[in-house]
Structure 1
Amino acid sequence: MTDGIFDGFEDYRTPTSDDYKNTLTNGMVVFDANVLLNLYRFNSTTRADLIKVMQSLGDGLWIPHQVMREFWRNRESVIDQLGETPKESLAKLDKARQDAEEAVRAWSNRIYLPEGERNDLLTKLNGVFQAVRGTISEQADANAHPHDTNNDAIVTTLDSILTGRKGSAVPVEDHEAAVAEAERRIAAKEPPGYLDLDKTAPENRAGDYLVWKQVLLEAERRKCDVLLVTSDAKDDWWRRSKGQLRGPRLELMAEFRRSTGRRLFMIQPSELIRRADSLTDVHVNPKSADDIERVEKTAAGSVPPEVARELMAEICRRIEETGEVNLTTAQEHRAINEWIADPAIGGVLAEHLPSDEIHLWLRNEAIMGQWRALHGFGPYTDLVAVRYQTPAEIVDETCGPNWYLRRPETTKSMQSGCLATNGTDVRYVCWGSETMFDELLRAVARSQDTTTVRPMIVIMQHAEPVEFEYLRSAADDAGADLVYLRKILTPNPDHAG
């Protein structure tokens, strides 16, 4: 029989719908850790659709031990990051409100607008901002994911789906041998995982290869084709042409064929959901694929941590040279445009990000990273020369020197409240500007089961609230004390400069 053109070149064949259907029905389907973690980032409809597809796979679904290890290792940090997003949005909104108020005051002064009319405009302006704040806060509360695994619906669902479908830990000697092989592959730039070179610990650098090795072993045992569902779009997994993913790296397909005698397929979760109606018996919402793409695109642009840190050090230094660490919206726009045009910043980012994502990185990572550092959290706190009061200082100034943070480690991420103790009593302390007062009242209401004395609301801003007595009365009605603390910048003792 004459050989066809694919004989000996099988890995160049584009998968057909029948290939995917057969693997979904008779093969093994593996979901990577990034897909499981993204369940927290998807909206409720998309999450439900992906879970339905996973449930439909039955015993064809299999999760490597390394995937579950990475899921548990990163779950809490993902939840923390999602919890910070609405807080950062509210902070941006407050900054925009302040800029708008300054614009109204400047305009009213120029035209000699009567004070009463100016105040009416400011009241209307604040009303709009308050309404938007309220909506963001309500959505944040509705979409929050608990750290407590007993109350986490995603954990409960995954537990029911994956029971009996998860790989076991490999023996210690086999694990150590796999980590050593991962190091060799990284040095030789052999897929998968060699692009994780920038990770510090060998165990973390080996993550992708450990997943790969465990998939190979299970596929060899089952003697079946495998479909790997992953949001990882790096070139140490995928073959790419003109920016488009064309399938697994040929080296991976060849290794898989040598080890198992079967075929390897890969698909991104957005494509799996987009084709779910035709490939499975599951009906999904057509918009779910778009939501997955949104999440994948948000995570796609990656600046190596050491590069990001060097850029942030330069950006923080330049902001401080202006003499004003709190930039107005107009100043932010000017600074971002200058940075994009500067080879030392924009040129470096162009080596890691598409051109249309550089502006986004500078706004969301650089500007907000500097803002986070000023408020004492995030990875760049040592890069700013000044900072606002920390939670420990807020507790000390408002509750007294005998009070301290009950759990200091909880202040590593953005927060507007904490538990304080004097060694005997426990008190909930929360803080924010007067525009956040309704949110602070809700936080106090939620804290009733955790505090033994009256909670403390701290109105923390640059000027004392105009309606301070009204706020104090409202706080008292809610069973809380209220004080004003002037928000000030002080030298940062942790500054690395």
Structure 2
Amino acid sequence: MDKEQIFINQTLYPKAADVFKIDIKPINEIIGDCLFIVDTNALLIPYTTSSFGFEEIEKAYSKLIKTKQLIIPGQVAREFAKNRPEKIKTLFQQLNIIKGKIKNLSTGQYPLLETLREYKEAVELENEIRILQKKYSIKIEEILSQIKDWRWNDPVSSVYNRLFSEDIIYEFDIDQDTIIKELERRNKFSIPPGFNDKSKGDFGVGDLLIWLTILEVAKEQKKDVIFISGDEKNDWFYRSESQSLYPRFELVIEFKHATNGKSFHIIKLSQLLTELGADEKAVKEVEFTERNVNIGFSEYRNFSLKAVELVYKWLQETESKKEIVVNNGFPDFLIKDSEKIEGVDVMTLRGGRNIISLHRFQERYMRAYYEIKEGKCDIFKFVIVVPDRDAIDSVNKYFDRFSDKYKNEFISIIAGTISDDGNFEQL
């Protein structure tokens, strides 16, 4: 028998009376003197907001720095360094895909129509559009060139460089073996936070390091803490109906015991902006960005665009020795080498019982068949992107059921989802 597992509740709730007597001060009572500790996802949000939204975020951080209330854990800084290039790569890919989809118009040569006023006007408009398209393409190329020149001087990093001095970054000294032992214990018994990421390469140590930093700095400074984070996974929050409710009780209790009764809250960056009186337009913009990150890709508008971008990135990595052409229309991409041309079409499926739209997929499958038959492609691949791992089961059941219908040596079908680190993951 595993003694620790048998008595795990005694470990999580060492003082039973606290279950009924716990007192958490509301945010409005502690906001003037608490510590605001920032998570990585909050630092990355400005990469997907407007400059106006970022200005309001900058003002909020500046206020907290002035009152000496802002803390950034060392682990958060390191995670920002790791994830920042991915944000810039995504931005570059979005613009590159847009540039690749610019297609010249062609009214065609029809001598019989040259006497028609409408035909002449159409040709004139075509020439004007071509000129505008060329100018637009040049501007996109100039933007891409500037992005290529960014090192650590992109707009977001430049502001952070000015704002975040060394005394805002909190490092705590703890033995690595001790951390590994604690990580193993928490993952074994699903003790928050971090157990949701135990399948990752680092076994979820990032969240644990951030949490240990929160405990250490709050204990050291004898302060309540408001954690600024958009992470809504179930190792931080209780969840219901795809929504976060409130922080895990285990976290609140552990914080109370470590800090001699201080209060712990988790709020999003948009909530922080509201508390500090930011412009409502900026708050709404940040809220939208947070919602896109957290509510599940099937529920926000640009899921299809995001899926295409990430599959493009995945193809660049897996087919690095071949030419990948962004196609204007069906299919989304063409992969070329000296021997063959492969068409790749990205299909996004939204959750629910009818996760597969039979008519929609059959139609695209037949289009792929004719693309091959007409010699436009030698082989074809469908990449099906679903919101989460659970949806993969529905995809597999569908193709198991209709395996004979979609049996073709020249057409393959793969499925995957968007991983926690924002990449396409084939499953």
TM over 0.5: yes
Counterpart-to-counterpart distance in 1, 2:202 and 2:270? 31
Counterpart-to-counterpart distance in 2, 1:43 and 1:130? 26
Counterpart-to-counterpart distance in 2, 1:184 and 1:32? 23
Query: Who is 2:251 aligned against?
Result: 252
Query: Who is 1:45 aligned against?
Result: 52
The one of 85, 91, 99 equivalent to 2:100 is: 91
Cα distance change on mapping 1:72 and 1:371 into 2, 3 Å: closer
Counterpart-to-counterpart distance in 1, 2:48 and 2:149? 13
Counterpart-to-counterpart distance in 2, 1:185 and 1:147? 40
Cα distance change on mapping 1:275 and 1:218 into 2, 3 Å: closer
* Contact map agreement 1:387 1:490 (CA 8 A) in 2: no
* Contact map agreement 1:370 1:380 (CA 8 A) in 2: no
The aligned amino acid for 1:122 is E
Q: Secondary structure at the match of 1:377?
A: helix
Cα shift at 1:63: 1.4
Cα distance per residue 1:166-187 (max 9 Å; x no partner): 112524xx23322332233233
The aligned amino acid for 2:34 is G
Query: Who is 1:180 aligned against?
Result: 181
* Contact map agreement 1:388 1:490 (CA 8 A) in 2: no
Tell me whether 1:123 sits opposite 2:118 in the alignment: no
Written as runs of structure 1 = structure 2, the 5 A alignment for 1:244-393 is 244-261=243-260, 262-277=262-277, 284-300=278-294, 353-354=297-298, 356-357=299-300, 360-365=302-307, 367-369=308-310, 377-378=316-317, 387-388=335-336
Cα shift at 1:84: 2.2
Cα distance change on mapping 1:141 and 1:61 into 2, 3 Å: same
Cα distance change on mapping 1:294 and 1:269 into 2, 3 Å: same
Cα distance change on mapping 1:369 and 1:42 into 2, 3 Å: closer
Larger relative contact order (Cα-Cα within 8 Å, sequence gap ≥ 6): 2
Cα shift at 1:244: 3.8
Cα distance change on mapping 1:294 and 1:91 into 2, 3 Å: farther
Query: Who is 1:9 aligned against?
Result: 20
The aligned amino acid for 1:82 is L
The aligned amino acid for 2:215 is L
Counterpart-to-counterpart distance in 2, 1:206 and 1:7? 28
Query: Who is 1:311 aligned against?
Result: none
More displaced 10-residue stretch of structure 1: 30-39 or 238-247: 238-247
Tell me whether 1:55 sits opposite 2:62 in the alignment: yes
Cα distance per residue 1:105-156 (max 9 Å; x no partner): 5xx98x97459746445324434544654665677678x596433x445444
Cα distance per residue 1:315-346 (max 9 Å; x no partner): xxxxxxxxxxxxxxxxxxxxxxxxxxxxxxxx
Cα shift at 1:363: 4.3
* Contact map agreement 1:11 1:253 (CA 8 A) in 2: no
Cα distance change on mapping 1:380 and 1:197 into 2, 3 Å: farther
* Contact map agreement 2:94 2:309 (CA 8 A) in 1: no
Written as runs of structure 1 = structure 2, the 5 A alignment for 1:73-112 is 73-92=82-101, 94=102, 97=103, 101=105
The one of 152, 157, 160 equivalent to 1:158 is: 160
Q: Secondary structure at the match of 2:32?
A: helix
Cα distance change on mapping 1:241 and 1:16 into 2, 3 Å: farther
Counterpart-to-counterpart distance in 1, 2:214 and 2:312? 43
Counterpart-to-counterpart distance in 2, 1:176 and 1:389? 49
Counterpart-to-counterpart distance in 1, 2:49 and 2:129? 33
Cα shift at 1:266: 0.9
* Percent sequence identity over aligned pairs: 22
Cα distance change on mapping 1:219 and 1:68 into 2, 3 Å: same
Q: Secondary structure at the match of 2:164?
A: helix
Counterpart-to-counterpart distance in 2, 1:241 and 1:89? 38
Cα shift at 1:255: 0.9
The one of 18, 22, 26 equivalent to 2:28 is: 18
The one of 31, 39, 47 equivalent to 2:38 is: 31
* Contact map agreement 2:37 2:228 (CA 8 A) in 1: yes
More helix by share: 1
Cα distance change on mapping 1:276 and 1:379 into 2, 3 Å: farther
Which TM-score applies when normalising by structure 2? 0.61
Cα distance change on mapping 1:285 and 1:126 into 2, 3 Å: same
Q: Secondary structure at the match of 2:265?
A: strand
Cα distance change on mapping 1:10 and 1:292 into 2, 3 Å: farther
